[in-house]
């Protein structure tokens, strides 16, 4: 945290830092973002802070009410569900395209990731599994060979990171998640895109159940 990327624009650094704090939950939904205060925290004036907030609002991470400041987007339960559905559909779309388009190298990379994950599950290393999981999906995005789709899918996944964090903590979830990846991978290797898409929807659905439990006691 001492001296990171001094070549980046100040406003960019602030934007990234704030986005990070929001997606990791350090900044709870509904928190007000005081420009002056944030500026002080980063040793900057209000101007770059404002620019950062503007961008975050365009991405949907914060909400701006004219003359009343910005607050971290408090998404309703319904909206989270909606976002999750979209996420699942996008992932399904990606895997369908990727099934038809990945080259052998990409296929083997995916298989390798799946292979590696076995040890993580056995060791109960959730953080490592989480990272692998991220790479797994990322590889599928790139497998679509469509840069725009890959970007959008990644952006959506980023945006949902805030809600996804705790989802793997549920009992036995990593093992089940891995099993689902296995089925998915099999469908991909078979070249059955439609089936892969179905597997992915199911995978995302199961993943969302953990989330649902997490958000059960909210408005």
Partner DNA sequence: TGCGGTTCTAGTGTATGCAAGAAGTGCGAA
Partner DNA sequence: TTCGCACTTCTTGCATACACTAGAACCGCA
Per-residue CA distances from 123 to 81, 126, 175 (Å): 32, 9, 11
Residues that bind DNA (CB under 7 A): 9-11, 32-36, 39, 43-48, 50-51, 64-70
Paired residues of 62 in beta bridges: 72
Cα(210)–Cα(197) distance, integer angstroms: 21
Of 24, 75, 81, 74, the closest CA to residue 209 belongs to 81
Task: Determine if 82 is a binding residue for its own copies (CB under 8 A).
Answer: yes
Q: Can you list the alpha helix ranges (DSSP code H) found in 4-125?
A: 10-23, 35-42, 46-59, 77-101, 104-123
190 binds, among DNA, its own copies, none (CB under 5 to 8 A by kind): none
36 binds, among its own copies, DNA, none (CB under 5 to 8 A by kind): DNA
Question: Are the C-beta atoms of residues 62 and 15 closer than 8 Å to each other?
Answer: no
Radius of gyration, CA atoms only, the chain: 19
Q: Which region among 37-45, 89-97, 98-106, 208-216 touches its own copies (by CB under 8 A)?
A: 89-97
Task: Determine if 45 is a binding residue for its own copies (CB under 8 A).
Answer: no
Site for its own copies in 109-148 (CB under 8 A): 146-148
Task: Determine if 201 is a binding residue for its own copies (CB under 8 A).
Answer: no
H or E element, residue 170: none
Task: Determine if 16 is a binding residue for its own copies (CB under 8 A).
Answer: no
Cβ proximity to its own copies: between 78 and 127 the closer is 78
Residues near its own copies (CB under 8 A) are 8-9, 12, 47, 50-51, 54-55, 57-59, 66, 78-79, 82-83, 85-86, 89, 93, 97, 146-149, 152
């Amino acid at each position: 945290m001492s001296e990171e990327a001094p070549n980046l624009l100040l406003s960019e650094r602030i934007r990234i830092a704030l986005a990070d704090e929001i997606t990791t939950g350090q900044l709870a939904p509904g928190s007000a973002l005081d420009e002056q205060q944030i500026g002080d925290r980063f040793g900057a004036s209000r101007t770059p802070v404002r620019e950062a907030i503007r961008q975050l609002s365009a991405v949907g991470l914060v909400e701006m009410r004219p003359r009343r400041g910005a607050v971290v987007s408090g998404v309703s339960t319904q909206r989270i569900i909606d976002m999750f559905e979209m996420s699942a559909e996008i992932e399904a779309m990606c895997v369908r395209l990727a099934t038809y388009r990945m080259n052998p190298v990409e296929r083997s990379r995916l298989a390798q990731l799946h292979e590696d994950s076995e040890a993580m599950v056995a060791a109960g290393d959730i953080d490592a599994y989480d990272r692998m999981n991220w790479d797994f999906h990322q590889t599928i995005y790139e497998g679509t060979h469509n840069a725009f789709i890959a970007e959008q899918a990644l952006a959506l996944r980023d945006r949902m990171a805030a809600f996804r964090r705790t989802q793997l903590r549920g009992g036995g979830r990593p093992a089940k998640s891995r099993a689902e990846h296995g089925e998915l991978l099999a469908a991909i290797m078979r070249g059955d895109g439609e089936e892969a898409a179905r597997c992915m929807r199911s995978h995302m659905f199961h993943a969302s159940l953990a989330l649902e439990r997490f958000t059960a006691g909210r408005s």
